[in-house]
Amino acid sequence: MSNAMIINGKEIGQEIRQSVAEQVSKLKNQGVTPGLAVILVGDNPASQTYVRNKQKSCEAIGIYSELIKLPKEVSEDELLAQIRFLNNSESIHGILVQLPLPEHINEDKVIATISPEKDVDGFSPVSVGKMMLGQETYLPCTPFGVMKLLEYAKVDIAGKHAVIVGRSHIVGKPMGQLLLQKDATVTYTHSKTPDLPSITKQADIIVAAVGRPNFITKEHVKPGAVVIDVGINRDENNKLIGDVDFAEVEQVASHITPVPGGVGPMTITMLLYNTVQSARKTLLQDK
Ligand code: NDP
């Protein structure tokens, strides 16, 4: 029996993309075509798929997308020079470097070189600092997407206890910050947290960003909790599954996101959103 309301990221993502597409056509009427540059280093197949999806999504709503493919032997200096060139390019409003990068390249240095005005992934130290301070900036797309899911599903956040499982720079850490800004009481957990279920059981909202299939079970969840599954894993049949044991947890949760079709579609949606906001800003600056 299913009890939980399923938060449909595919539908919510579509709705947001539609309004972003409307903004794109308005911008085009004013002479600005939003542009996103994606830098792909090497030939990692997963990265190639992610990049292709991002490009397709851009094209579907009229954003100009430019793919810069660099060989895996590219030097760090060449990559940094490419980013600096894009920082100054008028046709590009968002720059994204697909991670991971080859080992000889310092990822932190690369990300810090992206102009904060074009950091639509929200990963640079300036963007992260501004987010922490609650200042206007580009929010990292996955946690930003989760906030949109909660908003569309009308989940109350203020005063609720949110437990984040995972503390990566791109998901867990910023996720907790965004929930804190909406007045949740936030607990971070990670691989060194003893007795995880005793903590997640206290949560009104659980966000799982671990990268382990079916890791969050019924034993981790208080009846009526909202469960957001960021995980993307493959099972033995190569089928996509999340970090949450959906079949089990949907029987106790009040709301749950499926995998696929939950958080996944929101990440690219918010990337498109951020890129268009960046393009809009150039118009304001021209005035
Ligand atoms: P990371 O591997 O960077 O981080 C995983 C986190 O999980 C770490 O903080 C780690 O703790 C924690 N962890 C590992 N084992 C345990 C455990 N036993 N108990 C509690 N915490 C544990 O992953 P990401 O944050 O990048 O991604 C997480 C998942 O989300 C992955 O499946 C990824 O594919 C997916 N993802 C999905 C996106 C989307 O668009 N939907 C976007 C980005 C990621 P510690 O820090 O101590 O090592």
Residue 251: inside a domain, yes or no?
yes
Is-catalytic flag, 277?
no
- From the candidates 119, 121, 204, 243, give the one annotated as an active-site residue: 121
Going residue by residue through the chain (287 aa), what tens digit of pLDDT does each one get? 568 999 999 999 999 999 999 999 999 999 999 999 999 999 999 999 999 999 999 999 999 999 999 999 999 999 999 999 999 999 999 999 999 999 999 999 999 999 999 999 999 999 999 999 999 999 999 999 999 999 999 999 999 999 999 999 999 999 999 999 999 999 999 999 999 999 999 999 999 999 999 999 999 999 999 999 999 999 999 999 999 999 999 999 999 999 999 999 999 999 999 999 999 999 887 65
189 plus 258 within the same structural domain? yes
233-234 vs 240-241, strand pairing mode = antiparallel
Q: Which of 190, 216, 219, 228 to mutate to test the pocket of ligand 1 (most atoms within 8 A of CB)?
A: 190
Is-catalytic flag, 243?
no
Residue 93: inside a domain, yes or no?
yes
148 plus 257 within the same structural domain? yes
145 plus 105 within the same structural domain? no
Calculate how far, in angstroms, residue 202's C-alpha sits from the geometric centre of ligand 1: 21
Q: Domain limits at 98?
A: 32-116
Q: What is the CATH number of the domain that holds 112?
A: 3.40.50.10860
98 plus 177 within the same structural domain? no
Calculate how far, in angstroms, residue 211's C-alpha sits from the geometric centre of ligand 1: 5
For ligand 1, atom 34, the nearest C-alpha belongs to 232
What are the φ and ψ backbone dihedral angles of 98, each rounded to 5 degrees?
-70, 125
Are the C-beta atoms of residues 258 and 246 closer than 8 Å to each other? yes
The pLDDT assigned to 271 comes to 98
45 plus 94 within the same structural domain? yes
The pLDDT assigned to 229 comes to 98
In angstroms, rounded to a whole number, what is the distance separating the alpha carbons of residues 167 and 181? 17
Sequence ranges of the binding site: 166-168, 232
The pLDDT assigned to 176 comes to 98
- From the candidates 98, 160, 173, 245, give the one annotated as an active-site residue: 98
Q: Which two tokens stand for residue 50?
A: 């992610």
The pLDDT assigned to 44 comes to 94
Is-catalytic flag, 285?
no
The pLDDT assigned to 287 comes to 55
How many domains in the chain? 2
SS3 state at 185: strand
Nearest to 82 by CA among 64, 68, 101: 68
37 plus 89 within the same structural domain? yes
Calculate how far, in angstroms, residue 242's C-alpha sits from the geometric centre of ligand 1: 11
Residue 67: inside a domain, yes or no?
yes
For ligand 1, atom 30, the nearest C-alpha belongs to 231
In sequence order, what are the beta bridge partners of 187?
A: 163
Residue 2: inside a domain, yes or no?
no
Within 6 A (CB) of ligand 1 lie 142, 165-168, 170-172, 189-193, 196, 209-211, 230-233, 263-264, 267
72 plus 146 within the same structural domain? no
Measured from the Cα of 211, ligand 1's closest atom is 32
- Is-above-0.85 flag for pTM? yes
Burial of 6 (0-12, 13-18, 19+ CB in 10 A): middle
Residue 128: inside a domain, yes or no?
no
Q: What is the CATH number of the domain that holds 211?
A: 3.40.50.720
For ligand 1, atom 35, the nearest C-alpha belongs to 231
